[in-house]
């Protein structure tokens, strides 16, 4: 269990990686973000991405899962289960960054999460 004292401004957390299969990209995009460069390989080849890429909504969802499983799961929580401390939001990704380069099928994308700030809370301090 991580408590308030375990978090420091500037900390960076390795949250893991995910490999997104082409079939997953197509399934998600057909359902939620059917832009041609997400659902049509030929159209995607003619796009600015030069090939099929995952939706930003898809990669954001995957990265949220990494954040929850890699950081929030072990953090002390209040009685209602909500994370009491404001941890911040992911600011950049490893391996070229998903905010600057599209995630392609079978390519690795990882996430680093720096702790922006911490605020003391009695519910989050060590017993």
What pLDDT digit, counting tens, does each position of 49-81 carry? 999 999 999 999 999 899 888 887 777 665 444
Q: What total of structural domains would you count in the chain? A: 1
Query: Which tens digits make up the pLDDT trace of 3-35?
Result: 778 888 888 888 888 999 999 999 999 999 999
CB atoms within 10 A of CB 39: 19
Task: Please give the residue range of the domain that contains residue 93.
Answer: 4-124
Token output for 109:
């994308």
- Cα–Cα nearest to 53, from 42, 68, 37, 64: 37
Instruction: Name the percent of the chain in helix, strand, coil, to the closest 5.
Output: 35, 15, 50
Give just the sign of the alpha carbon dihedral 46, 50, 55, 58: positive
Quickly count: other Cβ atoms within 10 Å of residue 17's Cβ: 13
Residue-wise pLDDT for 29-44, tens only, equals: 999 999 999 999 999 9
Residue 23: both structure tokens together: 């079939």
pLDDT digits (tens, 9 = 90+) for 106-124: 877 777 777 777 777 665 6
Quote the pLDDT of residue 89.
42
* pLDDT(84) > 50: no
Cα distance between residue 76 and residue 80, in whole Å: 11
Q: Is it the case that residue 93 has pLDDT exceeding 70?
A: no
**pLDDT score, position 9:** 86
CATH of the domain at 80: 3.10.129.10
Long-range pairs of 35-39 with CB within 8 A, sequence gap ≥ 24: none
More confident residue, 119 or 91: 119
Average pLDDT, the chain: 78
């Amino acid at each position: 269990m991580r408590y308030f004292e375990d978090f420091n401004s500037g900390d960076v957390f390795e949250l893991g990686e995910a490999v997104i299969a082409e079939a997953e990209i197509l399934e998600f995009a057909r359902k939620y973000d059917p832009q041609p460069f997400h659902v049509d390989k030929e159209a995607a080849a003619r796009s600015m991405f030069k090939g099929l890429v995952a939706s930003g909504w898809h990669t954001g969802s995957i990265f949220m899962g990494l954040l929850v499983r890699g950081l929030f799961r072990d953090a002390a929580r209040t009685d209602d289960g909500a994370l009491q401390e404001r941890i911040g939001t992911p600011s950049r990704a490893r391996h070229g960054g998903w905010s600057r380069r599209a995630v392609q099928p079978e390519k690795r994308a990882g996430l680093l999460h720096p702790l922006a700030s911490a605020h003391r809370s009695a519910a989050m301090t060590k017993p």
